[in-house]
């Protein structure tokens, strides 16, 4: 099961990196900024940072919302298709890999 989780994490990192680079090259305006933001989020997911998983889900939802409003004309279809798998993977991997803070009573 651990191998599957690592493979899913690698898939999420690759998705964020590839789609982020694609947005940088193809999209204009907000799409360019979404692509620029996707790359540090991919680093956060790669490093198993708690905020990285949260940010990847928020990034996917923001991409969907902008595509739905018609702002992402060049990459609209891609943004709408990727939202469900990226959010689902982000939530699942957050539960598996995100480091939990220890409470003061535990220490």
Whether pLDDT at 82 is above 80 = yes
What is the average per-residue pLDDT within 4-27? 92
Three-class SS state of 32? helix
Query: Is there a contact between 75 and 27 (Cβ–Cβ < 8 Å)?
Result: yes
Residue 93 is assigned to a structural domain of this protein? yes
pLDDT of 102 reads: 59
Closest CA to 27 of 78, 77, 73: 73
User: Which pTM value belongs to this model?
Assistant: 0.85
With a CB cutoff of 8 Å and minimum separation 6, the contacts of 9 are 45, 46, 48, 93, 97
| Number of domains within the chain | 1
Residue 103 is assigned to a structural domain of this protein? no
Residue 102 is assigned to a structural domain of this protein? no
Residue 107 is assigned to a structural domain of this protein? no
pLDDT of 104 reads: 63
pLDDT of 107 reads: 52
Whether pLDDT at 100 is above 70 = no
- Give the confidence band of 75 by pLDDT, cuts at 50, 70, 90: confident
């Amino acid at each position: 099961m651990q191998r599957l989780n690592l493979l899913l994490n690698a898939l999420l990192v690759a998705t964020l990196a590839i789609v982020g680079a694609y947005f940088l090259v193809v999209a204009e305006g907000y799409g360019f900024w979404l692509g620029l933001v996707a790359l540090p989020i991919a680093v956060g997911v790669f490093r198993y940072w708690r905020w990285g998983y949260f940010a990847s889900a928020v990034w996917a939802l923001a991409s969907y919302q902008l595509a739905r409003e018609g702002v992402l004309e060049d990459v609209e279809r891609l943004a709408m298709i990727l939202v469900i798998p990226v959010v689902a993977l982000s939530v699942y991997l957050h539960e598996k890999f995100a480091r939990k803070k220890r409470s003061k009573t535990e220490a």
